[in-house]
């Protein structure tokens, strides 16, 4: 795995909450959904389960999915599910909203889900689309 190739990093002048809302809208425009819309604000989620975080803790973990693509993919091969959860992270650092997204190269995908020739290219397309949606929302 190549960190420079697989870790996408971006920055926004928007607040974390505003980026998350704008990212959700961009996702919906392209038939993607945020599966954990009600629990992506980790301050709220941690506190709801007894966790203690400061009032300025503002990490949002957004699980991105395209149900109309994932349904076919997982029906074709449930082994693919290991790579299906796709998370976009947004948090404050140094007065800016930082955005992080981890993806995998086609070679990494082929190694993790062997014997599945179509999957690496298809998933690589999804990874690229998520990066472009981040750029559109930031």
User: Residue 88 and residue 134: Cα distance in Å, rounded?
Assistant: 8
List pLDDT tens digits, range 118-136.
899 999 999 999 999 999 9
pTM for this model (two decimals):
0.91
User: Residue 65 and residue 86: Cα distance in Å, rounded?
Assistant: 7
Closest CA to 133 of 43, 7, 31, 38: 31
List pLDDT tens digits, range 101-116.
999 888 889 999 988 9
In the chain the domains, ranked by start, together with CATH numbers, are: 3-137 (3.30.310.70)
Tens of each residue's pLDDT in the chain, 138 residues: 566 678 999 999 999 999 999 999 999 999 999 999 999 999 999 999 999 999 999 999 999 999 999 999 999 999 999 998 899 999 999 999 999 999 988 888 999 998 898 899 999 999 999 999 999 999
């Amino acid at each position: 795995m190549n960190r420079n190739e697989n870790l996408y990093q971006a920055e926004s002048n928007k607040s974390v909450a505003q980026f998350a809302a704008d990212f959700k809208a961009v996702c919906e425009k392209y038939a993607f959904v945020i599966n954990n819309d009600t629990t992506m604000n980790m301050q709220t989620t941690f506190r709801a389960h007894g966790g203690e975080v400061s009032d300025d803790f503002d990490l949002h973990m957004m699980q991105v999915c395209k149900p109309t693509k994932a349904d076919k993919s997982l029906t074709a091969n449930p082994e693919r599910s290991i790579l299906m959860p796709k998370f976009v992270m947004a948090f404050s650092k140094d007065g800016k909203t930082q955005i992080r997204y981890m993806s995998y190269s086609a070679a990494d995908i082929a190694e993790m889900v062997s014997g599945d020739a179509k999957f690496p290219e298809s998933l690589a397309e999804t990874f690229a689309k998520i990066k472009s949606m981040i750029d559109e929302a930031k």
